[in-house]
Each structure stands twice: as structure tokens, then as C-alpha cells.
Structure 1
Amino acid sequence: MRASFMPFIRAILAILLLAPVLAAAFLPTPASAQMAEQPDRMDRGAASLQVEAPPAPGESTDLALHFIPQPGWHGYWANPGDAGLGMELEWTLPDGWQVDDLRYPLPHRLVLSGLMNHVFEGDYAVLTALRVPASAKPGRYPISVFGRWLICSDTLCVPQQGRLFAEVTVTPASASQASVSQSNAQFDNWRAALPPLLDQQAHFGWTADRLQIAIPLPASLTLAEPHVFIEQTKAVDYAAPQLFRRQGDMLVVEIPRGGLKQQPDAISGMLKLDGAGGGIRFAAQPGEVPAGGEVIAGSASTDATAPLWLLLGGALLGGLVLNLMPCVFPILSLKALTLARAGGQDSGAKADALAYTAGVVLACLALGGLLLALRAGGSEIGWAFQLQEPGVVIALLVLAVLIAANLAGLYELPSLSFTRSGGRQSGFATGLLAAFVATPCTGPFMAAALGAALLLPWWQGLVLFGALGLGLALPFLLLGFVPPLRRMLPKPGKWMDVFRRILAVPMILTAAGLLWLAWRLGGPWFAVLGMVLAGLALLVMILWRRAAMTDGSKPLVLAPIAAALLVAAFLPRAFVPPPAAGDSMLSPVAYDAAGLAAARASGKPVFLWFTADWCLTCKVNEKVAIEREATRDAFERAGVVAMRGDWTVRDAEITRFLTDHGAAGVPLYLWYRPGAEGEQLGQVLTPESLVELADQSRR
């Protein structure tokens, strides 16, 4: 129990120690004479001011502020990060002399108590150029600088200050020296540690929740462990994951925004290239940042960098699982009974299976290709995006009603029959339908593969979507090509009609679920009109079939067709904005980036989950693990902050968050321990999983 309080004790101690420094930073800057009177304090390391070489009048030479912290202590970059303090300098120079901006080496990242620090550990030097005016006379000139800086260990921070002196010798004329002194060699080493400035202009975009930077960088340059350090304070969330995408010779970096409210005029910083300390400096102006590209590093790249064969296996397995879903299982079962009704003969079985497979795979490729194209164009959408469109949900509702009625025996259409051998056309149409209605059921086995499909190069993404379709079609494909499997099918009989009507039940439940989703998306009258439209469509089918049989009653079909068109035209007028997410036992707050940052900064555990009304896995998890009294009581005991992101309706901010965490869709569950990064939970929650996490946070 005592160990769990140590981060808080350390944070409080650091704040107390930093308070005088922070207070001094906000006081009016004292005059140079007053600063000179303040005593030196360098008790946690040494500092010196060094000159590289004697300059001539009108020339410049480099100066170095050389710091040597004691072992176990560190200094800070110009932008110290979440904690620490940047260096303050006051120069005393001869009249007309000037110094340039400071040039820092590449800092390191140090996370303490959940706070990101940009630090220098060990010996380091900050360089600047000293410019001597042309009017300067040869001779020796004293220069000095009074500085304040901060030296910290993991548990303690001590302000340092002092006046550093040096002497500059101005020579009569510039001349090359025959030998290189030790000090010059030292300056060469210090300069080598400075990241060079990129010779091309970078551009940045400033969105509602993130900073996006486009950095020109050759595609041949390998980035092993990239990280961007931003010089502008509070522009970004320093501890947040950074996402790196490659688009040809352009590197795109996405970083969640910090507390800075207004867009800065320019962005500058350093890009760390690898683990060996290599990096570059860049300067960015507002401009266009390309969308899309291949993810090469960041929080969303974990699954995308997995072996392709493993991702293909996940997509194939996910497609197999889809066959057990209530909206797909009846279709598969009835296609299998088509073979049984034909007596299990080989004639036409292979052709029907291939047609069904072609329909399924083509539908998955079409949906996946459309998704990838829209995302490449800048749209913030994810898998099952069509279910966030009210019109598509109404169309699915009509289809579900028609399929249920077909299974119940209310009408038959040979070209689309599920119960008779309709040939290749029937198999192909059935495959298209099965894949389209299966998209809401993206289960746990598909999470990694579909998340990677949105991040990999487009052709690899399409391969994964094709594998998903192949997995969905595989059972019927095996029935068509493996005679022993067909012989295992039961012999035709009256039981088939009974079984057919039984399979209408899950389709009726699917229709009921779509009706509820239509109400959630567009309001009660929108859902009612959608059901009326489905009823009219069913009436059209029944009358059309009877007209075809009696040959002469086709005019009777015109009235329900006209009524259906009228209802369809009125549907947009009945649409109302969706209501807020339903009540929850956990009383969650709605997700947004600022709210999540505030919840994490509160020092309490945070449970964040993303859900949607059309997500079957989400609803099962909520019933099993989230909406439970035991979970609510455990959260209250541990002080857990519950936060929910509702993705029923398209939400660009949620889509970006899902993408950053390698998720193509919902559900997504994250647990934030105090002062730590989020832990991504599995997509299938057990009844006690959240209770155990809450109890662990109290220990």
C-alpha cells in the first residue's frame, strides 16, 4: 500500500521544490546589475562559458555553455516538457556585440510520475554564435552571462544560477591556423551533437484535437525509433503517443494537442530518427498536410507491423466466426439446405459454391476498397461505417424483413431464393447479401486484422478484406467441393420446411435490432416510417409473385410501389438528431480529448470504452461486464472515472482515436492507471475483469 503512494509523494515534493523557481519565472525580470549581485549556486554540477577561437572584426565565433551535472542528475531542454524549467540567460557584452539563438543537442525523454520531461543526462553543451562588429579593435574583451537553470534527480529538483565569464581575443585579421587546438576539437564534438537544420520547409495543420506536421524526408531514410520534440510550449501533449505515417518522401506526424488554445504562427522542433541519438531540426509553416499513407511507427502501428500471414489468419478466422452471427447463420444454413434438397448430388454444387464465394469476397473487397478510398481522401471513418448512415440502416431493415418473410414462406423469388436451387445467380446474390449484413458483427478475432487493414498499404489492406470474405464463404465452399461433407447433410424431407421457418426467427430478431438502431439514429418517426417502408416492400414482393403466377394482376403492384416511393421520399423529413447515449450504471462522462486528459490528470484510475448501438459484441460485453452492480460498486470504492465514447453515429474525433490505437471499429476498452499510459483490454470482457482491475488500483 505504501508503494502506491510513492508517485504522489514524489510529485508533491517536486512541486514544492519547484515552487520558488516557478514563482521567480513569473516575476518581472531584474536588471543586469541586480542579477550580478545574486550569489552563484552550482552545488549539483559545474557550468562554464567557453570560446572556440579568436574572431576577427566583422566575423563570428562559437560560444559554448558547458554543463556537467552530478551523476544521477539531469538538465533540461529549451522546452522542458510537463515539468522542469527552461534556461534563462542575461548576457553582458561589449557595445555592438551580439549572440544568436541557442542551439541545443537532441534531448532525451524521461517519464516520472506520468510526466514527460525533455532532459540531458550527463555532460552536454548548448552553443551559440558570438558576432563581433566590424568596428571592433583588436584586443582582449571580457564577456559574461548570468544564467538560471534547473538540475533534477528522479526525486529532487534544485535551482542553479551563476555568472559565467570568458575572454574573447579579437585578432587583426582572419587567418587559418596550422594546428587545431584541443578546444576546437571539443567544439567539433559538441557541434556533432547538434541536429542539423532540414533544408526544406515543413508544413503543419492545427485541428481540433491534434497537431499534424508534414516533414520532407527521403523515403530511403530508415526511422528506427522516431519521436518529435516541439519547441513551442503547451502545443502538444508531451506524453501522448505520436503517430508516424510515410507517404513517399513525406513524413507525416500526428500528435495530440496540449493546452495551447490558439494556432501558433510557426512550429519548430527536432525529429529523433533512431535510438543512437541521431536527429534533425525542422521549421514548419501552416500548410497542407497529406492524408493517409503507411503507418511506420506509433501507437497504431503495433498490429500493422505484425506478420502479414498472421493478419491473414486473423481475418480468415474472423470471417469464419461471422457465420455464427444471427444475421448470417440463417443464410448459410439455408444455402446448405439447398444442397440437401438437391439430394447432396455433385451436379451444380461446385458452381453454386463458387458463385456464393465470389459474391461474398466481392462484397468485402468493395466495402473495404470504399473504406480505404474514403480514408485516403481525408474522411474519418472506420469499418461498418455504412451502419452510421440512417439511409443504409433503413435499407438493411427492409432486406431483413424480406429475408425473414422469405424464410417464413410468405413468398418465393427463384432468382433470390434461399430454399431452392437458384443457380449461380442465386448463389452470387446470396453471397453479396451475406457479406453486407455481416459487417456489424466484427468480433474479437477480426480486431487486429481489420485495424491493420486501415494502416497497411492499400493493396495489403484489400488482401485482408478479401481474406475476411473467404473466411465467411469457406463453410459453403467446403460443402460444394468436399462430397463427404455433403453426404453428411440430412436427407430432404418435411423437416426442412419446419427448419426453414425456425431460421426466420433470428432474422426477425435482426430486423428488430435494425428497427431499434433506426430509432437511435433518426428518431421514433424515422423508425416507424422505415418499418412501413419494409412492410410495403414485402407487400410488393407478395403481389408481384402472385401476379406472376396468375398472369394478369400486375397492376395491383403499382399502388404499394407508389406508396413505398412516397414513404421513402418523406423519410428525410422525419429524421431528427439522435438522442444522447443511454443511461449507464457507471454514470460515464462523454469522451473527448480534453476530458480524457483532465480525467488522467486527476490521479484516479480511468476506464474508457467505445461502443455503438449496432455493435453486437459491445452490447454483450456491456451486459456481461460493464452494466453490473458489482462493477459499479468496485468503481466507487476505487474512485474510477468512467468515460464512454458512443460511435453509433459517425464521430471524427472517436474515429481518429480508434485509428491511433490500431482499431478498425468498436469495441475498444482502455484502462488508465494513475500516471501511466492506457492499457488496452481484450475485446471480450469477463464478468470480473473490470472488478479485478478496480480492486488492484486500491492496493
Structure 2
Amino acid sequence: MSRARTFPLPIRQLLAWMLALIASVMLAAAGHAQEVPVEARYGDENIAVQLFADGAPNAGEEWMLALRFTPRSEEWHGYWSNPGDAGQGMRLTLDLPAGWAMGEPLYPVPQRLTISGLMNHIYEGTYTVLVPVKVGPDADLMDVGPITGHVEYLACTDKICVPQDAVLASRQNGDFARWRAEVAPPLSARANFDIGSRVLRLAIPLPASVALDNPHIFIANENLVDYAAPQTFRRVGDVLTVDIPLAEYRADTPSAVEGIIAFGEGTGVEFGAIPGDVPTGGEIVAGPVGMATPPLWTLILGALAGGLLLNIMPCVFPILSLKALSLARAGESEAKARAEGLAYTAGVVLACVGLGALLLALRAAGEQVGWAFQLQEPGVVVALLVLAAAITANFAGLFELPSLSVTSGGKPAGAFATGLLAAFVATPCTGPFMAAALGAALLLPVPQALLLFALLGLGLALPFLLLGFIPALRRMLPRPGPWMERFRRIMAIPMGLTALALIWLTAQLGGRAFGGIALLLVIGVLIALWIVGRLRQAGKLAWPAFGLVAAPFLAFAAIALPSVYEAKGAEARESIHNPQAFSAEALAAARASGQPVFLWFTADWCVTCKVNESVAIEREAVRDAFEEAGVVTMVGDWTVRDEAITQFLTQQGAAGVPLYLWYAPGASAPEQLPQVLTPDLLVAQADQSLGRPRPTGPAAGSD
């Protein structure tokens, strides 16, 4: 349970917390007394307390006592052992016979109370704390009377805190069966923890069947974590991992971490963690991203609209030549147009669902991957390079193959293959409406996630599908004729540029030698296809010749490419801003400097990223504005797989790149900028950090 309250009078708040501090100091000073006092110093008028004993003790066994706290009205609350940002835990002294020992008190699952950004761990209403006592093995139980003691604690409302104490004497007839059920039971399995520079990570063994309605971790170690900071929960099989930001001025690294994990509605378990491995990845089940997931219907519309907009995004332009020629041919026959429309749509949707299913499976297995993950694999990029080069040569008339022809004799199989290719090549782009949908797809249950991927494919295929089923739209297209052959040759230009871009990308991924061998492979395959085309024109058997010519090039590439591959390391990209390379530590240091921070994530295979960098980021006006405002620039390069970047993207609700974040000085969370940037937008962000008004005209509208 969590409550958040704010008050309009800061003076009253300050007075309340000063009183709480004074009361805490008074309790701390009184806590130095070890003997049970004769009478109480402050009394228990606001929260009364009684001590109960569970029957008679037995020598050498554990005996349970219970402290029952009862507020006089609902406005008063008590505190857990770690009170949080303010308050005071209980101090208990028991007058026990020699050889007896008091154990650690056992608490129910606490509640959260946030006032003015301060998080307290409290109990509202009546609550019970169990106190186990280890009875000495040689205890003389004949003369044991009521157990006496003294307890000091704090009673607070939202406006005032007062110290309380009571002299105790145990009594019988307590409801120990119910009280035992109310305390947080211990987790039988051991948990692990790992402490980084900015976050405490926990791995808690917890069956996936345990429902987590509103989870929260209450850390018993004081001054270790930021109590009010958002906590991120992920499932990795039957292990629950939790990320909790550390306190700004935290204590030394502990040898163990203890606490209570609350599932919601007052239920939870007590756990203990030791240093150990904490899995990465997994599905976010709660946290700053997961709890903010938009309604499913908005995600559905976002996926559909995002797929539709992919048809005009720059990264999809290389495949527009295939679609344009196919759509022009759709006017030949209504039946053929419908068949091709359905086949193309099936190819696009199947590719999107297949890529989405593979993405979810890899993440469930603990892999840190995101949307367009296949383009981070050098082998996949080499295969795309060969395919793009073959299509370019086909368009240019170097050879003619039925499977690649789009100007005559079109068949549903060809449209289906074109749809597969369209979806596969389109994955580097995430349009303005796709970001939320794809980010949420990584958090939702698998059926809903696959639905979003399918609707993304449907949006991408929708224009072609409509042309196939609406004759009026097809009649708007030019009639088939000789012009189509000329148009096909013109379309070889953008496809050739795509192939050149892929050659550059292979060199970026694996080094120059890697790119050179990939280019040699392309030349070999094109020679083989040219020979096949010539033999087919002569009416001769062609495919054996393809195997004879292409096989040596394929064999050489299969051996040479892995041997010359040079993995690309994390480094800052060349830029007029001289940005730092992204890391969690570098980002924390930049934010701690008190200057605004502009962080962007990009990849060499992301055309949208490249367009934004050329049009908006790499501009002198932007550089000058950033320098004037003292903006710290930082870039994360996601060209090759980087688990730290993938995890950070997931935390921000992004499934891929581009992602642009602006950290204002002192802000607790970044502002996520749109995926289509303009120079005016970035200049306006810098001006705003200097206190200048943000434009409300066209520049602001570029958001």
C-alpha cells in the first residue's frame, strides 16, 4: 500500500519534520539506558502497546512474545525497523533471565507513505511485532513470572511526531495464530545481490506463478538505497530481479542485504541476500516503464499507424522500387491483384510476427536484444548485401530471373517473397507511433505482444492490400506498358545505393578486411547470376552453372569472413559536439555536474538515425546553442549488440533506435524527444535550459 500526500504550507511541513527529528533524537538519547526503567518517560497515549506471551516457555526452545500496537485514532501511524527517509524504529529492552536471548523482531509487511518526496515505511491501524526469545537450556522455569521490559518508539501523523514509550509486563491470551500469519514469512531460498556504481540489483527466487499486483522492496539496511526512487522488477524464469537506485550518500557495501518484498495488498515475504550473480534481461513486470504501459487499444493503433508510416520513412525507401513496380502491374487482372495483395500482406505479417517471436524468445532466454537485432549480426548483413546487389543487377537488366521479376508474369509467390523482404529491411526504422507500441511489446504477455507485431506488419502492407482489393485505386495507376521496363532500370539506382550502404555497414561491423571479402562474395554471386541469365536466354540448363561459379566464392567467404572479423568496440562517434561514449557511470557523472545532458542512441544501420544526425544534430547552430548552454553531449552506438545499451533502452520503454533523451539540470527523469528531430527543436531545448522561453510556433510544433 502506498500513500502520497502534499500540503500547501511548507512552513507547516518543515515544522512537522523538525519535530520528528527532535523526537528521534530524544529516543536515541533515551536508548542508551540498558536497564528497564521503573516508569515510562513519555507514555503511550497516541499508540498504546501491550506485551503478550505465547503460553509457557520450554527449556532450550524458542518462545514467542508479541508487541501489539494500537493507535488511538486512524491518523496516527508507527514505523518499520527501517523507517525510511524520516521517523524512528522501535527500541526494545527485555528483562530476561540469565542464559536467555532475544532474537530479531518479526514485522508485518509495511506500507509506504510519501510526503514531499520523502518515503517512510509505516504501519497504519493496529499491528503486531513478534519477538522470538531463545530460552536457555538449563532454565529454571518454576520461578519464571511475567516478562518485563521497556519499549521506545515514535508515533506520527502527517503534521506532528511525538516519542512514545511504555514499561511492559507480559500477559497471556494473545491471538498468536493470527499474528504469526500477519508477519512476513521468511523466504526459504537464498537471494543474491550485486551493487554497481548507481544501483542495487537483487535476484530473488520466486516462482513465476506468484502474482505481483503492486510490488515493492523494503530494504532493512539503512542508508543503502534511495527509498523514494522507482524500482524496476523483471522476471527471468522463476527468478525475480529488482533494480533499486542507491542512496546518494550510501553506507559502505554490506556483506548481506535483508528486507521484505511486498507483493501488494499487504502480502509479501522476508528475504536475505548475499553477494552473487544477478541475471540480466527478462520481462519487465513492474517499474517506471511497466506501470506506465498505455492501454492496449492505443498500442494497437500505434502499431498499425507506425507500420503505415513506415511506407514513407527513409529507411524503407530502398524497397519502394519493388512495391512501386508490383503495384503498377496490379491493374492487369483483378483476381491477380487480390492474390498478390494477400500474398504480399501474408509475407509482411509473417516476417514481423516471426521477428517479434524470435525477439521475445531471445529476451526470455536472457539475451539483451532489441528491435532490428538481426542487423547487429554481421552474417545477416552480408546476406542482405548479396540480396540487395542481386536485386540491383536484376533491375539494371544484367540478368532476368522469374523469382525476381516484377514487371511481367507476377505470381503470389513473388509477392509473398517481396513482403518478407519489405518487413525484414524495414525493421531498422521505428516511426513516431511505433516507439510506444514496440517498447510495450517487450513488457506485455506474449499473445498481446505478437498481436502488436502482426498489426505492425498489417500497417506496413496496408497500401498494397488496398490497391489489390479496390479497383478504383488501381485505375489511378498508369497502365502497364514499355515504360515499366525503363522504370525498373531507374529503380536500380536506389537499390544500388542501398547495396553500397550495406557494403559500408559490413566494414563498420567487422572491419575493412571483412567488408572487402563481403564485396568479393557479391562479385562472385553476380557473375554466377549473369551466367545463369545468359544460359536461360539461350534455353539451356542454368542452375548447375550457378553452383559451379558461386561455390568457390561462397566457400572462401565462409572461411575468410570469420577469421578477419574485428568486433567493433564501444567508442564515441565522430561529431562536431565531441560527445562522450555512453555508459551508466558516464551518464551519472554528467548529470551530477548540474549541466543539461543530451543523450542520443544511434546505429550505422538505422537510416532514420543518420537522417536525424545530418539534418538536426550535426548542425553548427545546434553546436553553438549547446556550447552556450553548457550541454553535455553523450552518444550510445548500438550498431553491434551492447547489453548495457539494450537494457537502458528497455528501461526507457524503447525497443530500438533512434532514442533521444534530454536531462534538464536537477530533473529526476529525462524528457524523451521525438524520433524525428529538427535543429529548431534542439536549439529550443538549449535555450530553455538558459531560462529563455520555449518557442510555441513551428519550431515547437516539430515535437
- Give the TM-score normalised by structure 2: 0.77
Write the distance in 1 (CA, Å) between the matches of 2:581 and 2:36.
54
Deviations 1:169-227 (A, max 9, x none): 68xxx7x5xxxxxxx79x999x69965326764755659763233434865x5x54332
CA separation of 1:344 and 1:488: change in aligned 2, threshold 3 A: farther
CA contact (8 A) 1:609 1:644 kept: yes
CA separation of 1:504 and 1:76: change in aligned 2, threshold 3 A: farther
CA separation of 1:546 and 1:169: change in aligned 2, threshold 3 A: closer
2:674 alignment partner, one of 663, 670, 682 = 682
Letter in 2 for 1:616: V
CA drift of 1:377 comes to 1.7
Letter in 1 for 2:496: I
Write the distance in 2 (CA, Å) between the matches of 1:329 and 1:353.
19
Write the distance in 2 (CA, Å) between the matches of 1:76 and 1:675.
30
Aligned to 2:567: 577
> What does residue range 128-277 of structure 1 map to in structure 2 within 5 Å?
128-129=130-131, 131=133, 134-135=139-140, 137=143, 143-144=149-150, 164=165, 166-168=167-169, 176=173, 195-197=183-185, 201=189, 203-204=191-192, 206=194, 210-216=201-207, 223-233=212-222, 238-244=227-233, 252-256=240-244, 258=246, 267-271=258-262, 273-274=264-265
Letter in 1 for 2:332: G
> What does residue range 275-286 of structure 1 map to in structure 2 within 5 Å?
278-283=266-271
CA contact (8 A) 1:247 1:293 kept: yes
CA drift of 1:514 comes to 1.9
Aligned to 1:405: 393
Matched, 1:657 2:662: no
CA separation of 1:291 and 1:675: change in aligned 2, threshold 3 A: closer
Deviations 1:91-115 (A, max 9, x none): 363443543323445445466787x
**Helix, strand or coil at the partner of 2:559:** helix
**Helix, strand or coil at the partner of 1:665:** coil
CA separation of 1:122 and 1:311: change in aligned 2, threshold 3 A: closer
Aligned to 2:700: none
Aligned to 2:556: 566
CA drift of 1:413 comes to 1.0
Deviations 1:497-523 (A, max 9, x none): 333233222222222322222222111
Bigger mean CA deviation after superposition, 363-372 or 205-214: 205-214
**Helix, strand or coil at the partner of 1:374:** helix
2:95 alignment partner, one of 93, 96, 101 = 93
Deviations 1:11-67 (A, max 9, x none): 9xx99x999x99x99xxx999569999xx9989x98887534697565553236889
CA drift of 1:436 comes to 1.4
Bigger mean CA deviation after superposition, 337-346 or 616-625: 337-346
> What does residue range 60-459 of structure 1 map to in structure 2 within 5 Å?
60-63=64-67, 77-81=80-84, 83-84=85-86, 87=89, 89=91, 91=93, 93-96=95-98, 97-104=100-107, 106-109=109-112, 117-120=119-122, 127-129=129-131, 131=133, 134-135=139-140, 137=143, 143-144=149-150, 164=165, 166-168=167-169, 176=173, 195-197=183-185, 201=189, 203-204=191-192, 206=194, 210-216=201-207, 223-233=212-222, 238-244=227-233, 252-256=240-244, 258=246, 267-271=258-262, 273-274=264-265, 278-283=266-271, 296-301=285-290, 304=293, 306-307=295-296, 309-326=297-314, 328-329=316-317, 331-338=319-326, 340=328, 344-459=332-447
- Give the TM-score normalised by structure 1: 0.78
CA drift of 1:654 comes to 1.9
Aligned to 2:450: 462
Deviations 1:653-690 (A, max 9, x none): 22222223322112223333415233333323343334
Aligned to 1:181: none
CA drift of 1:578 comes to 1.3
**Helix, strand or coil at the partner of 1:269:** strand
CA contact (8 A) 1:322 1:472 kept: yes
CA drift of 1:564 comes to 4.3
CA drift of 1:315 comes to 2.0
Deviations 1:540-586 (A, max 9, x none): 21122113324489759734541343134211222112152312344
Letter in 2 for 1:478: L
Write the distance in 2 (CA, Å) between the matches of 1:538 and 1:356.
26
**Helix, strand or coil at the partner of 2:679:** coil
CA separation of 1:302 and 1:417: change in aligned 2, threshold 3 A: farther
Letter in 1 for 2:219: I
Matched, 1:489 2:490: no
CA drift of 1:388 comes to 0.7
CA contact (8 A) 1:332 1:476 kept: no
Q: Which runs of 5+ in 1 are unaligned?
A: 1-5, 177-183
Bigger mean CA deviation after superposition, 408-417 or 633-642: 633-642
Letter in 2 for 1:143: G
Write the distance in 2 (CA, Å) between the matches of 1:246 and 1:603.
35
**Helix, strand or coil at the partner of 1:405:** helix
Write the distance in 2 (CA, Å) between the matches of 1:598 and 1:124.
45
Write the distance in 2 (CA, Å) between the matches of 1:341 and 1:99.
87
CA drift of 1:490 comes to 0.8
Once the two structures are aligned, what percentage of the paired residues are identical? 48
Q: Which runs of 5+ in 2 are unaligned?
A: 1-8, 692-703
CA separation of 1:342 and 1:642: change in aligned 2, threshold 3 A: closer
Write the distance in 1 (CA, Å) between the matches of 2:357 and 2:299.
17
CA contact (8 A) 2:318 2:495 kept: yes
Bigger mean CA deviation after superposition, 556-565 or 449-458: 556-565
CA drift of 1:376 comes to 1.8
